[in-house]
Each structure stands twice: as structure tokens, then as C-alpha cells.
Structure 1
């Protein structure tokens, strides 16, 4: 299937590893130009070079997405470099999963507020695209309780559902789509579940056994859904929460 995104430009926050990196590579593999950010400059530089190997243009900068001014500057400069913006993927997460004030503050500023700030900064440019989209990466933790020890993470991921649904209805008259992708347990080097695998083998085994498919997702399995949703081929899909969890959750979507 031709996703019709060749030479379009997509910006992904948190694009140097895991799901974000796979999303960036997924766009590049389809011939789209890609901009990314992450906190570590060396990782950004390496990822930009890897993306350029797909034969597309790539742009990146070390950015703390909790800094609204820095995030706005990144998006502005990326658009100036590429000349357009067709899609935004708000992927960065603080992975703050405790119940303390500092956990809630980090999860709010990174998971929720960065998404809002990125949308606000990108919107004037998205409005100029003939097939613009926004995708926010939430989690199954936003719709299913996994315990009080992860309450800050789940709370902000749940808040993204409301924000993105409201955004979708607000920007629909402008021809802009907005969707959520909610991954389940996803395994990649250096990620949360990789750490669990190394430090708590029994806990990791239980998490794997909880999924009827008998395994965790690879990041590219989530990325493919994001790339499709961001493309003109998903032109009538907006306001949706697409769960990519291998039937981990038992909740019925409504």
C-alpha cells in the first residue's frame, strides 16, 4: 500500500529509541522527511544520520520537551528547515509512575503538557497541509488500573484521551485529524520492560504470561500503526484511541 507520505514532513518527540525511533524510521522508510528531538545530543545526532540513510531529509535537536519555549523553537526551526509540516507525533514520556507530587509534576509536564504545547506550536503549520495529522502516544495504563504505584503515569495517559478527543473535534473543520495510539507492554533495549527483564525475571515472566499472545510487542509493531494513522490513507480516522496491546487488556472499547 502506498501511504502517500513521500516527501511529506513529520515531527516526532522522543525519537531516538524505542517506539519513537521506530516511528521515525517508519516514516523515513516510506520516503517522508523526519524531524526528531530527545534530551541527549549524541543520540539525536546518531539518529538523524541513520534516518538520512533512508534517502530522506532529517532534522533533530537535543530538547527538553518540558521546556515550552525550547519545544516551540524546535518545531519552528524544523519547519523552516523542511519547508512544511504534515504531521506531529507526541511520543515523549517521563515514565513517572509513582504517587508523589514530584511524580505527578513530571508526568504532567512531560506526558500531558508537552503534547498540548507541541500541538499549539505546530498548528499554524499543520493548517497549511492538505493532509495534516496529530498522533499522541498514550498507554493501556490510561484505561486500565495497574496499581497505585503507577498512578501518576496512568492519570496523565488517561488525560490524553480527553485532550485528543476534544482536539480532534476542534480541528476537524480544518481538515486536520487527531488520534491516540495506546501501546501495551513493549520490549526494546534500554526500555522499562528491558530493565524488568534484567532485574526481576519472575515479574517479567508474569507480564509476558498476562498476554494471550504470549509475548510483548516490538516497537516497530506499534510504529506501523502510528505511521498509517498519520497518513492520508487513514483520512476518515480521527478522534480514535487505537489500542496496540495484543489483547493484554480486558476492557471493551466504546
Structure 2
């Protein structure tokens, strides 16, 4: 299937590792130019090196997404360097795991606000695209109990609502907005690799909830995100796509 991504431009915030890295690789494999950023220059450079053989144009920066000006400035520079923006996705995330004011503020500053600021900055460029798409990343922690009372789950639920309302607001401008809701995703440089090695009992308890007996891989999730963001999924907007290997048990109406 031709996803129609060759020559398109994707700006990815927080794609210097984990799921974002896999998505950057998948976009590049489809011939899509890519902009990536992340906190670590070393990790950013590593991903750039991985993308280079694909022959696509790559723009990169190391930055702190909690800096109010950082993500909008990155989007502006990336769009200028790539020659526009067709697709925007933010992958930044944090989960301190406790219900305190500090944790709420950490997640807002690290996850929610960089996404919102990035979308706002990208919109003037995406409006000029003939295949404009925005993908918001939520979590199955938002739809079923997961690790107790914590702001991460509540704020990831807010991402679903934000994505849905943005989809309705931006559809008349030809921009599709969708939400992807992953369960646990295993990447070799992601948190579940660490948990597997260092928190064995917790890891095993999560695996016991997955009927397939395996976590979704970063590559599997990346292919879903890239398809939903591509012109091949042109009729899909306002959707919430759960990718969790069957971990959540609710009926997905």
C-alpha cells in the first residue's frame, strides 16, 4: 500500500528515543522528511544517524520541552528547514506516579503543554498542506484503572477530549486530528525494558493482563501511527485508536 507520504514533512517532538524514535524511522522509510528533537544531544544525533540512510531530509535539535519558548521555536525552525509541515506529533511524556501538586505540574509541563504549544505553532504550516494531520498520544491508563490514583492517567484522558474537539474545529480547514491510545509498548530503549530487568514482579503482573502474551512493540505502534497520520487514512478524523495487544477489557465503542 502506498501511504502517500513520500515528500511529506513530519515534525516530531520528543522523538529521540522510545516510541518517537520508532515513528521517525517509520516515516523516513516511507520517504517522509522528518524533524526530531529531544533533551539529549547524544540521543538526537543517534536517531539522525539512523535516519540518514533513508535519504530523506532530517532536521534536529536538542532542547528542553519544559521551556515555554522551546517547542514553538523548534517547530518554526523545522518547518522553515524542511519547507513546510504536513504532520505534527508530540511524544514527550513523564509519569512520576504519585498524586501531588508537583506531579500534576510535572506532567503538564512535560507532556500536555509541549503538545498544545507544538500544535499551535504547527497550525499555520499545516493549514497550507493538502494532507494536514495531527496525532495526539494518550494512554490506556486513561480508560482503565492503572497503578492507582495519579495525574498521568487523568491528564492522558484529557488528551482524548482535546484531540476530539480539535478534530471538529480543524476539519473545515482540511486538517485531520486523531488520537492514539497505547497500552504498554516495548522498545529496547524504553521504560518497559528497564522495568523488565529491574521491577520483575510488576512487569510480570502487567504481562499477565495481556491475552496475546506479548507487549505491543515499538515498530507495531509506529506503523499504526504512521498509517493514521498518512493520506491513506484520509477519511479518519476524531478517532481514538487503542493499540494495547488486548490489555484493556472494555468494549471499544
TM-score, normalising length: structure 2: 0.97
Shift of 1:53: 1.3
Q: Deviations over 1:194-238 (max 9, x none)?
A: 222112222212211210000111101100010001100110101
Q: Distance in 2 between matches of 1:251 and 1:199?
A: 30
Give 1:146 shift: 1.0
Deviation at 1:157, TM superposition (A): 0.5
2:151 paired residue number: 152
Give secondary structure in 2 for the equivalent of 1:24.
Answer: helix
**8 Å Cα contact 1:5-1:32 kept in structure 2:** yes
1-side partners of 2:82 and 2:190: how far apart?
A: 30
For residue 87 of structure 1, what is the aligned residue in structure 2? 87
> Could you say which residue in structure 1 is the equivalent of 2:235?
236
Show structure 1 runs of 5+ residues with no match: none
CA shift for structure 1 position 154: 0.4
State the shift of 1:241 in Å.
Answer: 0.6
Q: Is the 8 A contact 1:12 1:37 kept in 2?
A: yes
Deviation >4 Å, runs of 4+? none
Query: Deviation per CA, 1:72-95, whole angstroms, max 9, x where unpaired?
Result: 110000011011100001111123
Would you say how many aligned residue pairs link Structure 1 and Structure 2? Answer: 253
Corresponding position of 2:102 = 102
Q: Distance in 2 between matches of 1:144 and 1:191?
A: 22
Counterparts of 1:146 and 1:49 in 2: how far apart (Å)?
A: 36
Change over 3 Å in CA distance of 1:147–1:49 after alignment to 2: closer
Q: How does 1:72-151 map to 2 (within 5 A)?
A: 72-148=72-148, 151=150
1:115-145 deviation digits (Å, cap 9, x = unpaired)? 1111100000000000100001111011111
CA RMSD of aligned residues (A): 1.1
User: 1 CA distance for matches of 2:180 and 2:42?
Assistant: 28
User: CA deviation digits over 1:3-32, x for unaligned, max 9?
Assistant: 001011001111111110000000000000
Unmatched 5+ residue regions in structure 2? Answer: none
Deviations 1:38-68 (A, max 9, x none): 0011111221122111111101101222223
Whether the aligned pair in 2 keeps the contact of 1:209 and 1:215 (CA below 8 Å) is no
The within-5 A match list for 1:153-232 is 153-232=152-231
1:179 is paired with a residue of what secondary structure? strand
Contact 1:8–1:85 (CA<8 Å) still a contact in 2? yes
Provide the secondary structure at the position in 1 that maps to 2:11: strand
Separation in 1 of the partners of 2:237 and 2:10?
Answer: 17
Residue 250 of structure 1 corresponds to: 249
Does the CA-based 8 Å contact 1:111-1:157 persist in structure 2? no
